[in-house]
Structure 1
Amino acid sequence: MAPSGIAREPSPDRRGPITRNLARAAEVVDRAVGWPTLWRPVGLAVLVGLRSQLRALNLYDSGRDPDERAPHWDSRALRARLPSGTHNDLDAPLMGAASSRFGRNVPPANSSPDAARLLEPNPREISRRLFTRDEFRPVDSLNLLAAAWIQFEVHDWFSHPDDEETPGREIPLPASDDWPEEHRPMRVHRSALAPGADPDAPPSFANRDTHWWDGSQIYGSQQDYADAIRSGDRGQIVLAENGLPPAEADTLLDPNGPVANFWVGLALLHSLFLREHNAICRRLAAAYPFMTDQQLYDTARLVNTALMAKIHTIDWTPAIIAHPTTVSAMRGNWFGLLGERFARRFGRVAASEVLCGIPGSTTNHHGVPYSLTEEFVAVYRMHSLLPDELKIRDIDGNRPQAVHTLDQLLADHVRDRLAENSMPDLFYSFGRAKAGELTLHNYPAALQELARPDGRPIDLATVDILRDRERGVPRYNEFRRLFRLPRVPSFAALTDNAEWAEELEDIYGDIDNLDLMVGLHAERKPPGFGFSDTAFRVFVLMASRRLSSDRFFTTDFRQEIYTEVGMAWVRDNSMRSVLLRHFPTLAPALAGVDNPFAPWPGR
């Protein structure tokens, strides 16, 4: 690995000349006509070529603290995911573990913050003028359960610790700003630099959680929390009456971490997949009575995590990017281009991930130690999916409907809402409600003055802009250039909305000053897409990398590790079956719904 804090150049391109030339040709075709316009088989071939180019040219390692030592060997690692994420790669046991550094998708020379422009334009002005919701803009193809799902997954993937020692950055506020007087000036914590980072190199930052797709949002990244929620009975987890672990376990979590962003949507999904873990444990115990409590827990975690990854790949992602080519591509990531029906009948007939899918293929880091990246974090800023209020609907229609504003669904109110409403009613309400569009002027007001555990409010839109700048994420046009996309020449060329183009020009002046997040929200989207094509480039690369680098999705995705029953559980289940297993009264509401992340019809 690279020494302290120094992001290195990508590995030498080990692709053969035919693969390399075909991948370059795919980029040429994409730039000339755009992959969304192509006949589906050709579009799929272009996306495969683009992924090859991205793997070869857009992966950079940020190194490690030279004082880090390999953890003590735990033989459980051969068959289990460990809480801290160590030993997923047996030859590099710290790879992807909690507190590992985020990598990059752009070269080191392009990942240093521009200190002179860190507050230019003012991120609070951008929040107020470009993000403030003037009216709720729903997206017709996506429900609120889908919005909750992506935050549920993000809490598994990444969390930057704040720097609690250094004074926060002060955001200039004009007299006309309505920020509360008692909380002026507005201060935003800095992101904590990774331990051992070289102050003369581009900054690097550590992930509080593991980088692996390992279900850490429900199982925890620390051993004490993982132990605290265990029942000791057949591998199961203790669940209170509301479907969550006992409240006292929360005291083991960092109050300033993801727990501070908890809300009812997350509670539903935590409860659902904790219940699923216990159901898997009971099935395994019935099939394999000789398995110990620890073996049942470890195997159920593997199965549950793989099922969540499958749901994200073939249910959630096709809902938010519903273009026919990308729907086929995501199913291809999991089943291969030969398809699910072929896989069920014949099994894996070739090593190729393109033909037979990534699960069960050979582990491949593509020459760069695995980690999530700062650019991956940046394109997952999707707070606009959340509405300003939620109508609580009675699935049986026997009681009046209640309406709660978003702030009444957040952390301090979660247990109250769960006590007032049944889980089926809440899932039905989330299934009926539409998510917001990822666009300008659609950011929920409750998140622009969000109360933190210390009592001080923050404006998340302001923080989102500042975080990308301080972490050296390139601005919009530079980001596109580094992903080999054409530069957008003007604000008018960026968006179809002439009024927005004028607002953007008034604030930024020059299109090359445009922040990445703003450009992603303003950009025209491909047909069926909930987010921009620029952001999609990062997903093309990282969605498959999260699978292909993980031993438990590749080399060890087999019945000798998962058991025959566990492999069948992953194969035969989906978001629909998980919902109906635990809440069978949802069956009428889901009748005729192709994808549970699309809006459910009224009854």
Structure 2
Amino acid sequence: MSSYRTSLPWRIVVGIADYLDARIGWDKLPLPLGLGTLLGLRVRYRQENLHDTNKIPAVNVPEPVPPKDSFKVNRTADGSYNDLDQPRMGMAGTRFGRNIPLDKIASATPADVLSEPNPRKVSRELLTRDTFISADSVNSLVAAWLQFMVRDWFSHGPSPTDRPWTVPLMDDDPWPEQPMQIMRTPDDPTRDPHAPAGTPDTRVNVFSHWWDASQIYGSTEDEQRAMRTGELGKLHLWDDERMPFPSDPAKDPSRVPGFWLGLALMQGLFTREHNAICDHLHAAYPEWDDEELFERGRLINAALLAKIHTVEWTPAVISHPTTVTALHTNWWGLAGERVHDLFGRISKSEVVSGIPGGETDHYGVPYALTEEFVAVYRMHPLIRDDWELRAANDNTTLRNASFRDIAGPEALKVLGSISTTDLLYSFGTLHPGLVTLHNFPKFLQEYERPDGHLQDLAATDILRSRELGVPRYNEFRRLLRLKPAARFDDLTDNPQWAKQISKVYEGDIEKVDLSVGMFAEKLPKGFAFSDTAFRIFILMASRRLNSDRFFTEYYTPEVYSKAGLKWIDDNSMVSVLLRHHPELRTALTGLGNAFAPWNVAGQE
């Protein structure tokens, strides 16, 4: 069992962290104290906010294929055998975990899910974007990157078409159908039909839970084989090397809900990066065959994605000095990047030398992503409604587009008419939206799915958290040992918003939905989303590294190769962009983080 649960020094650290956070707040402390407080909070959350849904009786659980020796050094397509002693852990088709006690999972009866205010009312009155509120410290690659990551991390799978939730509408609602229908989340196929009444509800993740770049490589052996060329470890690049997707309409991912231009750009960029890694490995190890090059390339690419997310994307969207340092510490430890580059790990401690290359630890609970992690990543306000697509060389406007014009199959038309370099430049010089109230993209409130079904994603986000038993805002905070809001004025420093929320929730602060409370919060300095959401990140961002042996004890030259580990060390989002799009050099000159606003052509 991890020493985090037993040692007296850690219990003291946790106690002090709880006290300082409650009395002052981690974000208001000097940097050293702030770092110590976040460390203590992480330990506390590891102790008390990891809960195993596999304890609930299950049937027909997915079975891994028989073990192979190669599984010791290669990631499997479905995520099995990451933990060699528990090969099912984290594989595709296994249950989401929870960050709340299982007996605190709310019921998903119609009375709860459709309780007043119903999700459509919340969407219309509290989430609708009247004026775009921008997050000026970052660029729109932040939004593209997030969905690219989500496509690797989690999906509840396609919704069944029977038994939709029916949401009654107000008389003045312009929605074309009465009532509104929102499809249900698929049931857990492993749930025991004979489970006693009151057994907490569970769902499964159709992707692997691991940070393994499955959005590039697929989650099954068949998907993976279809992506590979069979030569030098490389992947197919579709449409004259623009996108890594097959042209067969039956397999067209542009018709999968959620596809848009930003996702396509990231997918294409890191498919090219995989192939560049394979070229590098082939030059360093010419005796390696296609299989060896592919497997090492996948490991390296996945680790590079994890590094970029940890030390670039996340510090960009929560750019408080304490969180930036804490996130860099997750990867390099307090010793820092320079010491890592010169000497490698100088200590077994993750605090000193970072998580990669350290010890694997599940903290007493089998690894899985959680429903609460899914809930706090519902960040659709990041998406703009209006997109001015401009040329990288002189900033001239090539096209003004709505989000509808760059979503679904329409995105492929844009990719075919404007160069990828210019599209990346446009994203890099446009701000995303702030994750806050009254800033939900209009297009996503009237989103037509590829199957023709009309959907209000703002209402759907509210309904999903209720349906999946994620607590309402105040209860969520209590379960993280945070002070709940006693009054609506405690929710936000915007008096008008406080009145609006009170009116919508009819004066009952305990009914306020999690997303509404988080979107209303006053943000810590440099944050693009709420401190309440950040509490789940404190726990889960490091856990995804700690539990994965390919980021811990197997993060070695013997598994990755010396050339592979050096590639990860030497590269960043900036270097990836410039390798494949050197025309962006002027736009990226002087930037330490590619998710910060880029230089605009023609401006001094």
What TM-score do you get using the length of structure 1 for normalisation? 0.95
Shift of 1:400: 4.3
Could you tell me which of 231, 234, 245 is aligned with 1:233?
231
Deviation track 1:95-150 (CA, whole Å, cap 9, x = no partner) reads: 00001100000001111325332112110000011011010000110110111111
Shift of 1:421: 0.6
Cα offsets for 1:569-592 (capped at 9, x unmatched): 001000000000000010001112
CA RMSD in angstroms, aligned pairs only: 1.7
CA distance in 2, matches of 1:346, 1:400: 48
Residue type at the aligned position of 2:593:
N
Whether the 8 Å contact between 1:409 and 1:417 is mirrored in structure 2 is yes
Partner of 2:266: 269
Q: State whether structure 2 residue 35 is matched by structure 1 residue 35.
A: no
Cα distance change of structure 1 residues 591 and 36 upon mapping to structure 2, 3 Å threshold:
same
- 2:383 pairs with 382, 386, 393, which one? 386
Question: How far apart, CA to CA, are the structure 1 residues paired with 2:147 and 2:281?
Answer: 29
Tell whether the 8 Å contact from 2:357 to 2:556 is kept in structure 1 after alignment.
Answer: yes
Q: Is this contact kept in 2: 1:465–1:515, CA < 8 A?
A: yes
State the match for 2:157 in structure 1.
161
Q: Is the CA contact 2:246–2:252 (under 8 Å) kept in the aligned structure 1? A: no
Q: 1:125 to 1:341 in 2, by over 3 A?
A: same
Distance 1:432 1:18 in 2: 47
Matched, 1:117 2:108: no
Task: Map Cα deviations across residues 455-479 of structure 1 (whole Å, 9 max, x no partner).
Answer: 1110001110001001110000000
Note the alpha carbon deviations across 1:175-228, whole angstroms, 9 max, x for none.
211112xx4332111111212324531100000101000001111112212111
Distance 1:207 1:255, change over 3 A: farther
What is the Cα deviation at residue 75 of structure 1?
A: 2.6
Q: 2:58 aligns with which of 59, 65, 82?
A: 65
Rounded Cα–Cα distance in structure 2 between residues aligned with 1:497 and 1:354: 38
Question: Is the 2:161–2:183 Cα contact (8 Å) retained in structure 1?
Answer: no
Alignment partner of 2:586 out of 582, 585, 588? 588
1:108 and 2:102 matched? yes
Is residue 253–residue 259 contact of structure 2 (8 Å, CA) maintained in 1?
A: no
Going from structure 1 to structure 2, the CA distance change for 1:399 and 1:78 (only over 3 Å counts) comes to same
Q: Quote the residue 2:485 is aligned against.
A: 488
1:289 and 2:286 aligned: yes
Q: What amino acid does structure 1 have at the position aligned with 2:523?
A: K
Q: Distance in 2 between matches of 1:117 and 1:11?
A: 38
CA positional deviation for 1:598: 1.0
List aligned pairs for 1:465-476, cutoff 5 A. 465-476=462-473
Asked if the contact 2:218–2:224 (Cα under 8 Å) also holds between the matched residues in 1, the reply is yes
Q: Deviations over 1:407-429 (max 9, x none)?
A: 11101112101011111100100
* Runs of 4+ more than 6 Å apart: 10-13, 253-256
2-structure distance, mates of 1:14, 1:26: 15
- Please state if 1:92 is matched with 2:89: no
Q: Does 1:211 align with 2:209?
A: yes
Of the candidates 157, 162, 176, which is equivalent to residue 172 of structure 2? 176
Kindly tell me: are residues 390 and 163 of structure 1, through their superposed partners in 2, closer, same or farther at Cα, counting changes over 3 Å?
closer
Does the 8 Å contact 1:225/1:249 carry over to 2?
A: no
Contact 1:284–1:566 (Cα < 8 Å) also in 2 = yes
Taking the aligned partners of 2:450 and 2:418, their CA distance within structure 1 comes to: 26
Deviates more, 1:221-230 or 1:360-369: 221-230
Superposition pairs for residues 329-478 of structure 1, below 5 Å? 329-397=326-394, 400-478=397-475
The SS at the match of 1:395 is coil
1:572 counterpart residue number: 570
TM-score (norm 2): 0.95
Is contact 2:333-2:353 (8 Å) kept?
A: yes
Correspondence for 2:296 = 299
Distance 1:227 1:103 in 2: 30
Which of 124, 130, 135 aligns to 1:134? It is 130
Give the drift of 1:389: 1.1
1:117 corresponds to which letter in structure 2? D
Q: Deviations over 1:546-603 (max 9, x none)?
A: 0000010001001100001000000100000000000001000111222110111312
Alpha-carbon offset, residue 43 of structure 1:
0.6
Partners of 2:408 and 2:254 in 1: CA distance: 11
How far does residue 243 in structure 1 lie from its aligned partner after superposition? 2.1
**What does 1:538-553 correspond to in 2, within 5 Å?**
538-553=536-551
Deviations 1:519-538 (A, max 9, x none): 00001111111111111100
Matched residue type, 2:242: G
Q: Residues 261 and 407 of structure 2 are in contact (CA less than 8 Å); yes or no, is this contact kept in structure 1?
A: yes
**By how many angstroms is 1:70 displaced?**
4.1
1:232-281 Cα deviation digits (max 9, x unpaired): 1100011021521243367347888xx32111001110010000000000
Deviation at residue 163 of structure 1 after TM alignment = 4.3
CA distance in 1, matches of 2:460, 2:82: 33
The equivalent of 2:142 in structure 1 is 146
Stretch deviating more after TM superposition (190-199 or 354-363): 190-199
Amino acid at match of 1:136: F
Native 8 Å contact 1:11 1:56 kept in 2: no
1 CA distance for matches of 2:265 and 2:451? 26
Aligned to 2:10: 19
State the 1:303 CA deviation.
0.2
Q: Give the AA of the match of 2:6.
A: R
Supply the distance in 2 between the matched residues of 1:242 and 1:399 (Cα, whole angstroms). Answer: 25
What is the rounded CA distance, in whole Å, between the counterparts of 2:124 and 2:180 in structure 1? 14
1:248 equivalent in alignment to 2:244: no
Equivalent position amino acid for 1:351 in 2: K
One-letter identity of the residue aligned with 2:74:
A
CA contact (8 A) 2:254 2:408 kept: no
Instruction: Provide the rounded CA distance (Å) in 1 between the counterparts of 2:453 and 2:342.
Output: 58
SS in 1 for 2:247: helix
Return the alpha-carbon distance in structure 1 between the equivalents of residues 488 and 395 of structure 2.
51
* Alpha-carbon offset, residue 162 of structure 1: 4.0
Q: Distance in 1 between matches of 2:158 and 2:36?
A: 42
Residues 233 and 294, structure 2, Cα contact 8 Å, conserved in 1: yes
1:225–1:252 contact (8 Å) kept in structure 2: no
CA distance in 1, matches of 2:248, 2:153: 21
Contact 2:168–2:178 (Cα < 8 Å) also in 1: no
Post-superposition offset of 1:165: 6.0
CA distance in 1, matches of 2:556, 2:184: 43
User: What is the match of residue 536 of structure 1?
Assistant: 534
- Kept in 2, the 8 Å contact 1:163–1:193? The answer is no
SS for the counterpart of 1:370 is coil
Cα gap change, 1:153 to 1:484, in 2 (>3 Å) = same
8 Å contact from structure 1 (residues 229, 249) kept in 2: no
Amino acid at match of 1:186: M
CA distance in 2, matches of 1:261, 1:584: 29
Q: After TM superposition, give the deviation of residue 13 of structure 1 in Å.
A: 7.3
Partner letter of residue 160 of structure 1? H
Distance 2:241 2:25 in 1: 48
> Is 541-550 or 400-409 further displaced after alignment?
400-409
Secondary structure in structure 1 of the residue aligned to 2:138? strand
- Distance verdict in 2 for CA 1:246–1:196, change over 3 Å: closer
Structure 1 residue 39: Cα displacement: 0.9
> Which SS does the other structure have where 1:391 is aligned?
strand
SS of residue paired to 1:478: helix
**1:513–1:567 CA distance, 2 compared to 1 (3 A):** same
Identity of aligned residues (%): 48
Distance across 2 between alignment mates of 1:353 and 1:13: 12
Q: How many residues align?
A: 590
Q: CA 1:44/1:398 → structure 2, altered by over 3 Å: closer, same or farther? A: closer
Letter in 2 for 1:560: E
Matched, 1:524 2:515: no
Moved more, 373-382 or 399-408: 399-408
Residue identity in the other structure for 1:382: M
